[in-house]
Amino acid sequence: MKTVHVAATINGDPVEFVCEPHESLLDALRNRLGLTGAKEGCGTGDCGACSVTLNGRLVCSCLVLGAEADKAAIGTIEGMAEADRLHPLQQSFIDHAALQCGVCTPGILVAAKALLERNPDPTDTEVRYWLAGNLCRCTGYDKIIQAVQDAARQMRHA
Amino acid sequence: MKVKIWGSLSAFTDGRGELEVEAENFKQLLDQLAEQYPGLKPQIERGVSLALDGWIYREAWFTPIGPDSEVVLMPYMQGG
Amino acid sequence: MNMRAKSERAFKVVGTRPPRPDGVDKVTGRALYGADVSAPGMLAGRILRSPHPHAEILSIDTSAAEALPGVKAVITSADFGLPEDESLRDIQDNCMARGKALYDGHAVAAVAAVSPAVAGAALKLIKVEYRPLPHVTDVDAAFAKDAPVVQAGRTLENVPPGVSENVTSFCEFGHGDLAGGFAKADRIVSRSFTTAATHQGYIEPHACLASMGSDGKADLWCCTQGQYNVRSVCAGILGMEASQLKVTASEIGGGFGGKTTVFIEPVALALSRKAGRPVKIVMTRDEVFRATGPTVTTSIDVKIGMTATGRITAAEAKLRYSGGAFPCVTVDMGAQAAFAAYDLEAVRSLGWNVLTNRPKEAPYRAPGAPQAIYAVESVVDELCEALGLDPLEVRLKNAARKGTKSSYGPTFDDIGLVATLEAAKAHPHYAAPLGPGQARGLSCGFWFNFGGNTCVSLNINTDGTVSVTEGNPDIGGSRAAISQMAAEELGIAYEKVRTVVADTSSLGHNDVTDGSRVTFSVGLATIKAARDAIGKMCARVAKIWGIDEDAVFWEGGYAKPAGPNAGDFPPMSLAEIAAISFQTGGPIAGHHEFNADGAGVSFGVHLCDVEVDRETGATKILRYTVFQDAGKAVHPAYVEGQMQGGAAQGIGWALNEEYIYGADGRLQNPGFLDYRVPVASDLPRIETVILEIPNPGHPYGVRGVGETPIVPPLAAVSNAMSRAIGARLNRLPMSPPTVLKALNAAGA
Amino acid sequence: MLRPDGSHLLGLTSCVGLGRVAPGPENIRERLLLRYEKPETAADAARLLAAEAGLARILAGGTDLLVQLKSGLVELDLIVDIKNIGGMRSITPEAGGFRVGAAVSGAELGEHEEVAKAWPGVVEGFELIGSTQVQGRATMAGNLCNGSPAADSVPGLIAANAIARIAGPNGERDCPVEQIPVGPGRTSLAKGEFITSILLPARAPRSADAYLRFIPRTEMDIAVASAAVNLSLDADGTIAVARVAIGAVAPTVRLVTPAAEAILGTRLDDAALASLAAAASAAANPIDDKRGTVEYRRHVVGVLARRAALIAYGRAGGRK
């Protein structure tokens, strides 16, 4: 297999790695860089558990080749808190019990953050449609929507 | 005391749905049943639960059974 | 102490909503799930699966795969022994087919190699010679005398003769004079229903990392609902002693019953044993759907008689379930649960399980109950419609209550069904106006709830904090609830307690996290362990004060003299006692090990409003409210979470989720694209109303809450849709083509 | 998100797989030699594609390609990432319309206000593909070349009379979008050819389009049936130009001329709408599968055509 050399920034830090041409960005993050916060729930872009940002765009890292990350800026759940300060969304998810098993949580947080950066005051319906690609099997989504809205309120008033 | 069994077990108890046994606990009850009705043995070996005055016990031999207790045999159960 | 005394105590910690101990790890991506760990020298394991629904395996040639550079081990069923225990043998045969492949996706061989890519390439080099056999995937077809026989010789002694060899078991429950009851009815409705198999749909695929040395010692890391069960089963399959196998449960990314058994763990251990290196296996989503537990698929007849005023006179259900290619007793639970919500003079439920060429069933949240209760609640609703009666009043009129002889035998103690129905009746949702094309449905639900084997250790640390060690994986916030109960009992702050889930070497056996048992049983053991520690702390204080142990009692986190006669001593706090524990006799710990009983049944009532698009058959859930008796909600937010999550899963089951098999016997939709679980935009808010009718079997009144909420949605949604379109629906899922067909048939 | 279902994947495998010898260790090792290339010109890309003896695929958004790779049913020898080629990620005005680069994602197109205003149906069709995450990557050209009859962006493009620009070993050529897919998973593109951009043509005044699909959930599904309607109105609201395309009800997305004729010259009265629906249903030649039945698809495609026409009519300024 002809490996590909990739130089990227992840959560602001410069990173270099080699990967195989067929290897997904998700596999590269998890297996080569030790960033296991993004999860593989399906590998086909249907569950959103592997959500990251690629040059500011929300994507499923299972649908991006590692090779495509060359010269790109990647954002993952590991970069969401600033040192020991949780992002308001992270705190809100804990406060609202918006996670049960927690395996979808990293993807949902990354996706919700991308939403609030574009739309700081979404309606419930907008939140639900934005997050439609993030499956959660535990919560019925109710507390997730409340947690996102509460974090949005806090961020607007911050 | 009287032990209620579930319907399909009555094929092994001469059609009776309520059996009379002498037992002070779950284990004695199971031993008695297996002795009096050998046809019940396979089910007892696969596992049964016991409802005692409405409370369900899974395989607890020494659960004491009072003379006036309501005793119902149930299949061994699993959840999700 | 009397554990059944009704508790009227004022709680300080129980009933509050503190942050969960694993919260920060889970929102920062640090929490480690099944696939998140690695080991030095680790190999990648992958499994070859049968493309045939039913085939004899004539030969397996692994030589080419073994010759591929980078391949370190290849195994087949020949690498396993033959356990004597039948249920263990079934589990093993499900993990690796022996002689016959019994369903599309059945494992036939496995490879460990230096990378997933090499392992994948090696799978393609394994030559399996199959002789395809006729197959059957439909539950009713499998009953036919001439149906292909999935496994011969599996019929239990309790099956009446004269049925297909696929029928493995039969059960019957009930009491009273059925014929007499039906004779008293003013209206009798008899209907047949089918429900598709659904999958638990946990977002985390099964994953494990096994490491077994040539000395026979092994470590296994896996996502499971029960590490002790994994240990017993794997030790049994691999012929190991339990003490030599340490199983650590990872954080678990959802289970809902589907992770109560093993699929890949024995395979990873066998590969590791053969390769002499650690082996990690992570299932793909396709494998999860094809080879792990869906629910039973069912075909059900229900007949109910009712008087003109709404009293049920007789009720009968015939349940035909299939738990796939292996014997399965889920129908027993369906038959027992079917009429549990009703106080009936004449009731009978009959159940049969039949083998089909489908994956082995694994429990899914209240296994067997949702299907049976869906059918019963649909017929009750049809009777209410036909007789012009209010469906909630009819439920109240017939509701099981304290003293009711249940349809499955035992007489109910304190139960919360009537209170739950009254709460639904009083709720604004029930009276809210509906628009054109909209309708409301309701359903009751029930689950037994279990106790089971449980161990807890509770250590008093010298700094006045408390470490609780328990053995049940936390699938929905149970560590928080257990810490709360420890804090409550000890009289200290929640923040002073940390609860961890132990590996199998650190604590005695704990039954799997199933049957809604954890908050109840582990909580009860925690309370008893705390009381054990309290007893020891009081004894230390008695020594310090030089008085009798009986003269010291515990209150609000302090040891106090029992009365004026005991002496005038300033109370000692837990922290003060802990700080000098080394000087007063050594570390202080409490333990409790038991087989818990007294779990207490659970009832729920769901209200659902829908709107159906009469041109496309599309259904929109407009409003949804869940009412449930939690006994005592220890952490109300996580109780609500169970109610909401169960409702969402039930709504998915009602509307879109199903295993679809083609005529070729292959699963057509093994992915989240076409196995359609609800997405966020499909659902409205799910309102919750928690009732607290204390369970007499628990000192705080706790009942299990996890499973009941998946039961009512099937009929609540179906009843709403049937009313909306003016035609009774009788199959799940109610996909748009099904609905449109029913609409057209009704001449709409 | 659009991607072929199993039958399409099997079709692809049989195209490339049957000619090969049965796998042995040597072949397997060869097959592990997948290459990833990111040329900087279309000509280089075409050369790479033409020169590849094995199976080569274009990577733009990758939302179908990576799923196929993951499935293991497609064994590639070469991936050509076209995102480094100039113009692939831009939207440029051209001849009163817009030229959309082959690697422009759904999110990017949706954020382009002028395109969204001129071609709301094209944009909404494209934006219905998959999740927010998929929108960050998926492309119209990829959706088109994937060859799925259920592709959400294709009915809108066909109704819009969009033109694909194709690069290949013999240079560039333009081709109407409706001529690109020829069957499930198959296109009319020759070896070495790939789409570099799609031109959305200029708009007459009082023109608008709309796209509707039916899915069982609210998001994340493949269309069970779909319809796009593109209209231009006279000053009095009479329909002067109409194009109607339907999806997921035939081996390819279909342009349905009788459906367009049913509403031409009308102001979308009930009779016209009924004829439109009937014509769309009549043009459907669907299959029974896990997503829907023949009967259901045929009925629903008519409903969708009617509803889409009403939306397009309203957007174009028509009043009923």
pLDDT, tens only, D90-129: 999 999 999 999 999 999 999 999 999 999 999 999 999 9
- Which residues, other chains included, contact D135 with Cβ-Cβ below 8 Å and sequence gap of 6+? D105, D106, D107, D110, D127, D129
> Closest chain D residue to A130 measured between Cα atoms?
D132
Q: Does residue C230 register a pLDDT over 90?
A: yes
Instruction: Give the pLDDT confidence of D53-86 residue by residue, as tens digits.
Output: 999 999 999 999 999 998 887 889 999 999 999 9
Q: What is the tens place of the pLDDT at every residue in B33-73? A: 999 999 999 999 888 888 888 888 877 889 899 988 999 99
Name which of D67, D105, D219 is nearest A132 (Cβ-Cβ).
D219
pLDDT of amino acid A2: 80
Residues of C in contact with B79 (CB under 8 A): 257, 363, 366-367, 447-450, 514-517, 707
Window A:54-113, CB contacts with C under 8 Å: 76-78, 80-81, 86, 90-91, 93-97, 99-106, 109
What amino acid is encoded at C8 in this protein? E
With pLDDT > 70 as the criterion, what percentage of chain C qualifies?
Answer: 99
Interface contact D6, partner A, CB < 8 A: no
Q: Cβ C125–D25 below 8 Å, yes or no? A: yes
Residue type, C154: R
Neighbors of chain D with 3 or more C-beta pairs under 8 Å: A, C
Structure tokens at D290: 């896990």
B20 CB-side CA count, 13 A: 0
The answer to whether the beta carbons of residues C80 and C96 sit under 8 Å apart is yes
Q: Chain D closest CA to A32's CA: distance in Å? A: 18
pLDDT of residue C7 exceeding 80: no
Report pLDDT for C290.
98
Token pair of C254, please? Answer: 């959802």
CB contact under 8 A, C31 and A81: no
Q: Confirm whether the ipTM is greater than 0.85.
A: yes
On the question of pLDDT at C523 being above 60, the answer is yes
Find the helix packing angle between A142-157 and C636-655, rounded to 10°: 120
Amino acid at C613: D
Average pLDDT score over residue span C675-687: 98
Chain-chain contact of B56 with C599 (C-beta, under 8 angstroms) = yes
Closest CA of chain C from D94, distance in Å: 37
Q: Which residue of chain B is at minimal alpha-carbon distance from C258? A: B80
Burial annotation D44-75 (CB, 10 A radius, 16+ → b, else e): bbbebbeebeebbbbbbbbbbbbbbbbbebbb
Yes or no, beta carbons of D23 and C124 under 8 Å apart:
yes
State the average pLDDT for chain D.
91
Residue D245: name the closest of D182, D178, D199 by CA: D178
In this predicted model, which residue has the larger pLDDT, C53 or C449? C53
Instruction: Identify all chain A residues contacting C285, using CB atoms and an 8 Å cutoff.
Output: 41-44, 46-47
| Minimum distance, in Å, between the CA of residue C637 and any CA atom of chain A | 6
Q: Where are the beta strands (DSSP E) in C159-244?
A: 167-175, 187-195, 207-212, 218-222
Chains C and D touch (3+ CB pairs under 8 A): yes
C515 pLDDT more than 90 = no
The encoded tokens of residue C376 equal 């019963």
Label residue C600 by pLDDT band (50, 70, 90): confident
Q: What is the pLDDT of residue C356?
A: 98
Task: Determine contact: A26 vs chain C, CB below 8 A.
Answer: no
Contact between chains at C616 and D303 (C-beta distance less than 8 A): yes
Q: Which of D261, D200, D257, D267 is nearest to D234 (CA)?
A: D267
CA distance linking residue C324 with residue C330, whole number of Å: 11
Q: Is the pLDDT of residue D41 over 90?
A: yes
Helix axes C736-745, D294-315, angle to 10 degrees: 100
* CB contact at 8 A, C724 and C660: no
d(CA C681, CA A128): 5
Q: How far is CA C235 from CA C90, C212, C213, C214, C228, in A?
A: 15, 12, 14, 15, 10
- Distance CA(C253)–CA(A139), nearest Å, equals 12
- The helix/strand/coil state of C655 is helix
Quote the CA–CA distance of D117 and D124 in Å, as a whole number: 11
Q: Is D77 touching C (CB cutoff 8 A)?
A: no
Q: Which of C171, C412, C450 sits opposite B75 (nearest CB)?
A: C171
Residue of B nearest to C596 (CA): B57
pLDDT at res. C332: 95
Sequence-distant (≥ 6) Cβ neighbours of residue C217 within 8 angstroms:
C244, C245
Per-residue pLDDT at B76: 83
* Average pLDDT along chain A: 97
Q: 3-state DSSP helix/strand/coil percent for chain D, to nearest 5?
A: 35, 25, 40
Q: Does the pLDDT value for residue D136 go beyond 60? A: yes
Whether residue D303 contacts residue C615, with contact meaning beta carbons closer than 8 Å, is answered with yes
When CB atoms are compared, the residue of B55, B78, B79 closest to C598 is B55
Nearest chain B CA: its distance from C181 CA (Å):
18
Q: How many helices (H) and strands (E) does chain D have?
A: 13, 14
Give the pLDDT score at C8.
63
pLDDT digits (tens, 9 = 90+) for C85-120: 999 999 999 999 999 999 999 999 999 999 999 999
Q: What is the mean pLDDT of residues A83-96?
A: 97
- Report yes or no: D146 at the A interface, CB cutoff 8 Å: no
pLDDT at C151 over 70: yes
Question: Could you report the per-residue pLDDT of C602-632, keeping only the tens digit for each?
Answer: 999 999 999 999 999 999 999 999 999 999 9
Residue D305 has pLDDT above 80, yes or no: yes
Please list the residues that pair with A58 across neighbouring strands. Answer: A53
Q: List strands edge to edge, sheet with C218-222.
A: C71-75, C107-113, C43-49, C279-282, C207-212, C218-222, C245-249
Contact between chains at A100 and C477 (C-beta distance less than 8 A): yes
- How far off is chain C from D62, nearest CA to CA, in Å? 17
pLDDT for the residue numbered A1: 56
- Check D66 against A63: CB less than 8 A apart: yes
- CA-based nearest residue to A93, from A41, A145, A153, A138: A145
pLDDT tens, residue by residue, C154-182: 999 889 888 899 999 999 999 999 999 99
D6 interfacial to chain C (CB closer than 8 Å): yes
pLDDT score of A150 more than 70:
yes
Torsion over CA of C294, C295, C298 and C301, rounded to 10 degrees? -170
Average pLDDT for residues C61-88, to the nearest whole number?
A: 97
Q: Binning pLDDT at 50, 70 and 90, where does residue D3 land?
A: very low
Average pLDDT of chain C is 96
Q: What is the pLDDT of residue C546?
A: 96
Q: Smallest CA–CA separation between C166 and chain A, in Å?
A: 33
Question: CB-based contact (8 Å) between A18 and chain C?
Answer: no
Distance CA A75, CA A9 (A): 8
Nearest to C193 by CA among C63, C320, C352: C320
Which candidate in A18, A20, A59 is best for mutational testing of the D interface (most D CBs within 10 A)? A59
